[in-house]
Chain A
Amino acid sequence: MKWPLLPLLLLGPALGFLAGRSTAPEPASPVGVLRAELERQRDVLEAFVARHDAPPPAPILPTPAPAVDLGWLRAELARVVREELAAAQRAQAPDPRGLPPAPEPQPYNIAAHQEGQRILDDATSQRRWTDADAQAMRRALVNMTDAQREDVLRRLATAINTRAVELQTSGAPL
């Protein structure tokens, strides 16, 4: 009876070993490991490319602004605001001197005022005030109202003070 037991004792473990070996997973080969890693890296790379492959948004380029004399502009804005406020106050309050309110500008007043403004605009754009400008302004002043004269002469003074125009006259600018 011992004789069949010994082979069984030997065969059992051996069979068990062989069964375990047959059902054990294949050991990862170096090539396999590398292939698996490469595939994983490829997936990562493809996902990255897909995310960043979209065309970039068009850059918003600022349009170049024309050169503006800020000092002159500030002075002009201050002047306009003051004039509007003063006009509003005058419209509400009677003249302390008892004088009647100024009449509405006539078409020739308006035309003269516009001419004066054009002369100033041209001079400012060329940054100079010449004898020709002075002569033209003197002619335009004749047909303006008091308020219009004050407006253009203040604008001229402001342009001179802020160097929006350089004096190129033979002496006084008017």
Chain B
Amino acid sequence: MAIRRGALLGLTATLLFGTAASGGLKVHFPVKVDVGNRYAAGALASARGSLDGMQFIGCSVFSFAVGTPMVHCIARDATNAQASCTSSNPKLVDAAQGLYGDTLLQFFWDETGACTQLMITNSSEYWPKAP
């Protein structure tokens, strides 16, 4: 009887804590656009997984047969605030090519619409993109 009770307790503890130990940090990062500070951020997967049907964030890299590659980043949040920037700076173009489905993208721009900073964070806590 004591052995059966002990086994039952052990099984229960394994189910509870074992489940918690197998999970990691999960962060939902919806798109936010701060026009005043010229800053936009959002996890690509969170934007895609949102239910508002409004928000998106990402960058397009243009490579031309003649000329310098360019990057153009865009974001729109759930309040319909929108932001965009562009750059031909090779450092920023290279950075934008590191975007993937799990990426947290952040970017800053100046008053002329030029991107001044791109931050690409590929980390496990951001959801992978789902259909």
Q: Which chain B residue shows the least CB distance to A153?
A: B86
**A145 vs B82: C-alpha distance when bound (angstroms):** 27
Chain A facing B: main interface SS: helix
Q: Are A173 and B67 in contact (CB under 8 A)?
A: no
Q: Are A167 and B113 in contact (CB under 8 A)?
A: no
B67: contacting residue among A146, A155, A156, A163, CB under 8 A: A146
- B109 within 8 Å of A by Cβ? yes
Q: Are A75 and B74 in contact (CB under 8 A)?
A: no
Q: Are A142 and B70 in contact (CB under 8 A)?
A: no
Contact with B along A119-162 (1 / 0, CB 8 A): 00000000000000000000001101110011001111110110
Q: Are B113 and A154 in contact (CB under 8 A)?
A: yes
Q: Are B67 and A78 in contact (CB under 8 A)?
A: no
**A157 vs B70: C-alpha distance when bound (angstroms):** 13
Q: Are A156 and B113 in contact (CB under 8 A)?
A: yes
Q: Are B86 and A163 in contact (CB under 8 A)?
A: no
Interface residues on A, range: 20 to 34
Q: Which residues of A contact B97 (CB under 8 A)?
A: none
Q: Which residues of A contact B68 (CB under 8 A)?
A: 146
Q: Are B82 and A79 in contact (CB under 8 A)?
A: no
Interface core residue of B35, B56, B113 (most chain A CB under 10 Å): B113
Q: Which residues of A contact B58 (CB under 8 A)?
A: 171-172
- B32 within 8 Å of A by Cβ? no
Contact with A along B34-52 (1 / 0, CB 8 A): 0100100000000000000
- B114 within 8 Å of A by Cβ? yes
- B83 within 8 Å of A by Cβ? yes
Q: Are A157 and B84 in contact (CB under 8 A)?
A: yes
- A35 within 8 Å of B by Cβ? no
Q: Are B76 and A78 in contact (CB under 8 A)?
A: no
A75: contacting residue among B76, B86, B111, CB under 8 A: B111
Q: Are A160 and B84 in contact (CB under 8 A)?
A: yes
Which residues in B have some Cβ–Cβ distance to A below 8 Å? 35, 38, 56, 58, 60, 62, 64, 67-68, 70, 72, 74, 76, 82-86, 88, 109, 111-114
Q: What 10 pairs between A and B have smallest CB-CB spacing?
A: A157-B113, A153-B86, A160-B84, A154-B113, A157-B84, A158-B113, A79-B112, A146-B68, A146-B67, A157-B86
